């Protein structure tokens, strides 16, 4: 801030631009949230409007206030968590391909959550245990990747490939756990792909304090992370203890991912691609870009949720199936995979 006060003119203008962009993004979030609230089956848009204005029949009121609203909030916060976690990871590891999905964090968190549920240590009665287990699993996955890639983590693509291998091992372990407890399979499948179906206020009550705490921690780390992005030599020359800073950032990223995974499951590619979008929109100053990534992540997940609901309605009418739901995770994974393919293609052409 002092920088801006001492340097007038261009710097001020530079600040104004991100401010405008942030406001636009906030508007976009609001629009997407509205869309998510009005999409979906059971209640007509007029019914939703009546409920929001304080009227409507009890069924509509229940659906909107007890089902759609918590679902919307959970989607927003989980998306924000994933976006921030991805940006923190990519900055701390200086690897543009380090999303939580390809560093073993998400599969590890899924394994932790599934294992805790399958072995009876945690259930819907004790949701805190799920978060803790997901957190432990996330750390285990990240640790496994670190063991594997080790010190030769210089090549981003090599690390990403190792990350895929780690994910394979963790998925195998998840499968074994599911074999031991086959009764859980039906409920866990939703988790494996990432879904916002049936999220209620309890999920929200659990998610937001966790997200707020670790989000604040991530924002406090924005300065050190910006330095880390410039490289270890520059960072330590500027007086940063790089090892400690990186460790704190990783803890933060894993905690955020674990929170999101325990709430909505493994949403594919959100944590990998949202940071790139945020960096493209807001630039490299993480003090601005971190909140931007949070907003963008919320927009993406919530928009995907709304789109998924609309699509599953369309599909249901087209196929004449009475119950057909497209999980959000499927949509984000399909879109994300397409984007990733385009990116890989471009990188190959550049060489």
Partner 1 sequence: MAPLCLGAAALASAVCALSLGTPYVPPARLPATLGADGLAGLVVTELRLPRLVLALIAGACLGAAGLVLQEALRNPLAVPEMLGVSSGAALGVAAPLVLALTVPLGLQPFLALAGAALGGLLTLVAAGFGRSPSAVLLTGAAVAAALQAGLLVLMVMADQLDLQLIYRYLLGSLSARTWDDVTGLLPWLAVAVPALVLCVPVLGVLRLGDDDARALGVRVERARVAALGIAVVLIAPVVAVCGPVAWVGFLAPHLARRLRPDGGAAGWLVRSAVCGAIVVLCADQPARLALAPVETPVGAWTALVGVPVGVVLLKRGRRPARNRGPLAPPVPGTPPDLPAPVLRKAER
Contact residues toward partner 1 (CB under 8 A) are: 97, 102, 148, 157-158, 160-162, 164-165, 168-169, 171-173, 175-176, 178-179, 182, 185-186, 189-190, 192-193, 195, 268-269, 324-327, 329-330, 333-334, 336-338, 340-341, 343-345, 347-349, 351
Please, which residue, 263 or 286, has the CB nearer to partner 1?
263
* Min CB(302)–partner 1 separation in Å: 19
Please, which residue, 172 or 209, has the CB nearer to partner 1?
172
What is the C-alpha separation between 266 and 89, in angstroms, rounded?
17
* Min CB(113)–partner 1 separation in Å: 16
State how far Cα 173 lies from the chain centre.
Answer: 23
Please, which residue, 45 or 198, has the CB nearer to partner 1?
198
State how far Cα 68 lies from the chain centre.
Answer: 20
DSSP code at position 267 = -
Please, which residue, 193 or 230, has the CB nearer to partner 1?
193
* Min CB(272)–partner 1 separation in Å: 10
* Min CB(191)–partner 1 separation in Å: 10
Please, which residue, 233 or 350, has the CB nearer to partner 1?
350
Please, which residue, 26 or 171, has the CB nearer to partner 1?
171
Please, which residue, 147 or 237, has the CB nearer to partner 1?
147
Length of the chain measured in residues: 351
* Min CB(341)–partner 1 separation in Å: 5
What is the C-alpha separation between 227 and 220, in angstroms, rounded?
13
Please, which residue, 245 or 336, has the CB nearer to partner 1?
336
Q: CB-hemisphere CA count at 13 Å for 265?
A: 22
What is the C-alpha separation between 306 and 56, in angstroms, rounded?
22
- DSSP assignment of 81-130, as one string? HHHHHHHHHHHHHT-TT--TTTTTHHHHHHHHHHHHHHTTS--SS-HHHH
What is the C-alpha separation between 280 and 110, in angstroms, rounded?
30
* Min CB(84)–partner 1 separation in Å: 22
- Distances in Å between the Cα of 310 and the Cα atoms of 29, 72, 166, 279 are 18, 15, 35, 30
Whether 166 contacts 145, CB under 8 Å: yes
- DSSP assignment of 247-263, as one string? HHHHHHHHHHHHHHHHH
Whether 70 contacts 199, CB under 8 Å: yes
* Min CB(169)–partner 1 separation in Å: 5
* Min CB(208)–partner 1 separation in Å: 27
């Amino acid at each position: 801030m002092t920088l801006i006060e001492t340097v007038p003119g261009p710097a001020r203008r530079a600040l104004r631009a991100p401010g405008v962009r942030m406001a636009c993004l906030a508007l976009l979030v609001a629009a997407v949230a509205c869309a998510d609230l009005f999409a979906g089956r059971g209640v007509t848009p007029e019914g939703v409007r009546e409920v929001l204005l304080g009227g409507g029949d009890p069924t509509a009121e229940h659906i909107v206030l007890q089902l759609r609203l918590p679902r919307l909030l959970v989607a927003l916060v989980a998306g924000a968590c994933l976006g921030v976690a991805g940006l923190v990871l990519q900055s701390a590891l200086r690897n543009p391909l380090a999303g939580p999905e390809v560093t073993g964090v998400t599969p590890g968190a899924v394994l932790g959550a599934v294992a805790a549920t399958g072995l009876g240590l945690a259930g819907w009665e004790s949701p805190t245990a799920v978060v803790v287990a997901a957190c432990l699993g996330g750390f285990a996955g990240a640790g496994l990747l670190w063991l594997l890639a080790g010190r030769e983590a210089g090549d981003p693509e090599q690390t990403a490939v190792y990350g895929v291998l780690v994910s394979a091992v963790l998925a195998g372990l998840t499968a074994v756990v599911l074999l031991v407890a086959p009764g859980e399979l039906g409920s866990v499948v939703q988790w494996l792909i990432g879904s916002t179906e049936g999220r209620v206020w309890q999920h929200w009550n659990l998610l937001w304090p966790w997200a707020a705490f670790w989000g604040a921690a991530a924002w406090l780390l924005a300065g050190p992370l910006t330095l880390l992005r410039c490289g270890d030599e520059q960072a330590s020359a500027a007086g940063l203890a790089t090892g400690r800073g990186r460790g704190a950032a990783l803890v933060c990223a894993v905690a955020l991912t674990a929170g999101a995974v325990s709430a909505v499951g493994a949403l594919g590619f959100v944590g990998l691609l949202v940071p790139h979008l945020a960096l493209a929109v807001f630039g490299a100053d993480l003090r601005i870009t971190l909140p931007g990534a949070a907003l963008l992540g919320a927009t993406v997940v919530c928009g995907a949720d709304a789109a998924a609901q609309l699509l599953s309605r369309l599909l249901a009418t087209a196929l004449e199936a009475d119950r057909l739901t497209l999980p959000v995770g499927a949509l984000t994974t399909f879109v994300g995979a397409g984007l990733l393919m385009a990116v890989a293609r471009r990188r190959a052409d550049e060489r």
